[in-house]
Amino acid sequence: MAHRSGLSFRFTHAITRTPANSVSDGIRAVDAGDPSGEKFRQEHELYVKALQEAGLEVTVLPSLEKFPDSCFVEDPAFCLPEGAIQLRPGTASRIGEGAAIRAALDAAFGQVVELPGKGHVDGGDVLMLDDVILIGLSARTDREGAEAFAKVLAEWGYKAEVCETPDGVLHFKTACSTLGEGVILATRVMAESGFFGDRKVVVVPEGEEYAANVIRVNDVVLVPEGYPKTLAAIEEAGFRTVVLPTHEARKVDGGLSCLSLRFAG
């Protein structure tokens, strides 16, 4: 795969979904209390506004009460300039989310394919860089799914590598993000993993590990509110930032990247 400058952060469009009241029944690894649908929607509106101000045309899909985690649209699909790949989330309660978002994918892309086989991949385990796509194995992404996904990516001309996500990390991107320009933001355990080769890695300060999940959108980096040391580290690395509240998303293991599918149309 040739280096494609800006592939991982130059976008024109995004798809999001309004959080449902049923998000209080969402999946979580640790009980930090139930998120409020109303407060989550308020945070989500700020998120959508930030994407728009970064230059994106944003499609906001209606809430789905039937699927508590459906606002995390990143998990059931993966988008590239050539088209979208419908993924298969690794949690039974989320399987139907793929069919629910298919119409939006068909409207945005000329080509939409489904993940072959019976394996599982959550989009939260897929980190797109400008020269490689990393797929992390986790409780939600198995080897069968990861290898099938890598094969589709290879057919589309992309290099993919399957990685053994460190123990204790929910999703690969729970603990790392791309800041663009060959720079990675990562927790210490991920920074020491060897996944990122000779790229520059900005290490998230101890105690602020949640803030490893940020998103670079064109000329800004969206950063979760409440992590001043990480914010300072990103800015010191030369990036412009926008801070957003993610308090409700965090209660159900969500972060900034989970809440949108971003792509160049």
11 and 263 Cβ atoms separated by less than 8 Å: yes
Task: Kindly state the helix (H) or strand (E) to which residue 86 belongs, with its residue range.
Answer: strand 83-86
Q: What is the DSSP string of 112-160?
A: EEEPPSS----GGGEEE-SS-EEEEE-SS--HHHHHHHHHHHHHTT--E
Q: Which residues does 244 contact at the CB level (< 8 Å), separation at least 6?
A: 43, 46, 47, 50, 222, 223, 224, 225, 256
**Catalytic residue check, 79:** no
208 and 227 Cβ atoms separated by less than 8 Å: yes
Q: Which residue in 232, 161, 235, 169 sits closest to 197, CA to CA?
A: 161
Q: Which of 120, 171, 176, 247 is catalytic?
A: 171
**Catalytic residue check, 163:** no
Task: Kindly state the helix (H) or strand (E) to which residue 191 belongs, with its residue range.
Answer: helix 188-191
CA 202 from centroid of its chain's CA atoms: 18
Q: Which residues are catalytic?
A: 171, 258
